[in-house]
Amino acid sequence: MKTKIYKTDKIILRKKKLLDNLSENKLEYIKNGVCDSYIKFGVPELEIVVENINTSTNMKINRLVELIEKLKEQGKKYNENVSYYQKYIRNGGDINYMIREGLKEEYYLNDETYNFYLNAYKDENIAEKYANKNTELKIKLF
Contact (CB, 8 A) for 60 and 90: yes
Q: What is the pLDDT of residue 135?
A: 55
Contact (CB, 8 A) for 140 and 74: yes
**pTM passes above 0.85:** no
Q: What is the pLDDT of residue 30?
A: 86
First to last CA, the chain: 65
Give the mean pLDDT of 96-123.
87
Q: What is the pLDDT of residue 19?
A: 95
